[in-house]
Amino acid sequence: MQRSEISKQEAKILFRDNTYKIMSKKEKNIDQLEKKIKTELDNFTRELETVKNLIELDKIRTKYIGKKSFLIKTLKNIGDLPDDIKPIAGKKSNTARNKIESDILKKEKIFKNIEYKNKLRKESIDLSLPGRSTGTGRKNIISQVVEEIEEIFIGMGFEIAEGPEVETDYYNFEALNTPRDHPARSLHDTFFISENILLRTHTSPVQIRYMESHKPPLLIIVPGKVYRRDYDVSHTPMFTQIEGLVIDKGINFGNLKWTLETFAHEIFGKDRKVRFRPHYFPFTEPSAEVDVSCNICGGKGCRVCSGSGWLEILGAGMVDPNLYSFVGYNPEEVSGFAFGMGIERICMLRYGIDDLRLFFENDLRFINQF
């Protein structure tokens, strides 16, 4: 072993970080460094034995080869040592550091392995457990009934047409025989966007749009959303309608009756009676409201049918010949009928739902029943 004396000055440098206690003034040689390294190693080995997990392991890593550890500081300050000590100090410190490092790595591997195995054990799947099922989505009841009604009319030869929900005053009212001063306008509680633009209050404007762009014969149904400023048990600001329109040569009220009776029997059942009650709509003449017999009381009268024995399901009538002048049809040549129904109302009657607002509240307890 090479021994070397160091000057006071040099010892001071070595002392700088207070890590070189060993290099006290009276022991100015490499022996002391070696002893200190050996002590470090012994302490380390002893402590490593007691380490129980990765966190503890990390602590001794910091203690023995962390930035502030004796070994690392020695290595960092090696340049300040006298030339004859440098190589030995460097070599000894490095060897010690490497040993500590590799011992820690070995230990780390063992701990990681244990940890991994524990994790596997915890995460292992119990194949005997029953699966957790996720809810199945399905169509909203309104869409289901719209599709069912579409099927019924498609079966009778109808086609499906659509129109815009943001409509002009002209199509929603004017061309449907409802000029500005017409009292029927006040029944609609319209959402106006500007003086002439509005949210359609019914699907009837599509009658005009379709007639404008098609020549008879035509048989269409028009499903869609409509809007009215209303909110209570039987009104919501948005609801769904299906419009029907048939135009051809020689269409009469008998055709209208047969079509709507057939529809009512399909959707509510063959045992239900259907009646046509005179009514008024600006765009049909004559007009009727169509009722089916109440299924709750069998026609005797109850709370649901307000004692009448009948439930109103739709509005209908022969297309007022006045409308043909708006679309360029000749009223001498063609005639037709139209009808319109609220889908939510049909659903309410069919399933005994007493509050229209339920359709739009998205309560799963309600939705999941259909």
Residue 217: is the preceding peptide bond cis (ω within 30°)?
yes
DSSP 192: B
Q: Which is nearer to ligand PHE, 69 or 177 (CB)?
A: 177
Q: Minimal distance in Å, beta carbon 160 to ligand PHE?
A: 16
Q: Which is nearer to ligand PHE, 276 or 281 (CB)?
A: 281
**Residue keyed to tokens 């509050």:** 355
Task: Please provide the DSSP assignment of 285-314 as one string.
Answer: EEEEEEEEE-TTTTTS--TTTTTSSEEEEE
Q: Segment contacting ligand PHE (CB under 6 A): 24-32, 49-57, 337-345, 361-369?
A: 337-345
Of residues 239-268, those binding ligand PHE (CB under 6 A): 243
Angle at 109 between CA 96 and CA 118, to 5 degrees: 150
Q: Which is nearer to ligand PHE, 23 or 316 (CB)?
A: 316
Among 36, 202, 209, 272, binds ligand PHE (CB under 6 A): 202
d(C-alpha 36, C-alpha 64), whole Å: 12
- 6 by DSSP, 3-state: which? coil
Q: Which is nearer to ligand PHE, 40 or 243 (CB)?
A: 243
Of residues 308-327, those binding ligand PHE (CB under 6 A): 315-317
Of residues 281-300, those binding ligand PHE (CB under 6 A): 281, 284
Number of residues that bind ligand PHE (CB under 6 A): 11
- 83 by DSSP, 3-state: which? coil
Q: Which is nearer to ligand PHE, 309 or 317 (CB)?
A: 317
Among 204, 240, 293, 295, binds ligand PHE (CB under 6 A): 204
163 lines the binding site for ligand PHE (CB under 6 A): no
Q: Minimal distance in Å, beta carbon 316 to ligand PHE?
A: 5
Contacts of 357 (CB under 8 A, 6+ apart): 231, 233, 236
Phi, psi of 292 (to 5 degrees): -115, 155
Q: What is the 3-state secondary structure (H, E, C) of 50-63?
A: HCCCHHHHHHHHHH
338 lines the binding site for ligand PHE (CB under 6 A): yes
Q: Which is nearer to ligand PHE, 106 or 229 (CB)?
A: 229
d(C-alpha 56, C-alpha 54), whole Å: 5
Q: Segment contacting ligand PHE (CB under 6 A): 54-62, 63-71, 336-344, 359-367?
A: 336-344
Q: Segment contacting ligand PHE (CB under 6 A): 52-60, 132-140, 163-171, 333-341?
A: 333-341
- 211 by DSSP, 3-state: which? helix
Q: Minimal distance in Å, beta carbon 164 to ligand PHE?
A: 16
Amino acid code (one letter) for 75: L
200 lines the binding site for ligand PHE (CB under 6 A): no
Q: Are 284 and 320 in contact (CB under 8 A)?
A: yes
Q: Are 117 and 208 in contact (CB under 8 A)?
A: no
Residues in touch with ligand PHE (CB under 6 A): 202, 204, 243, 281, 284, 315-317, 338-340
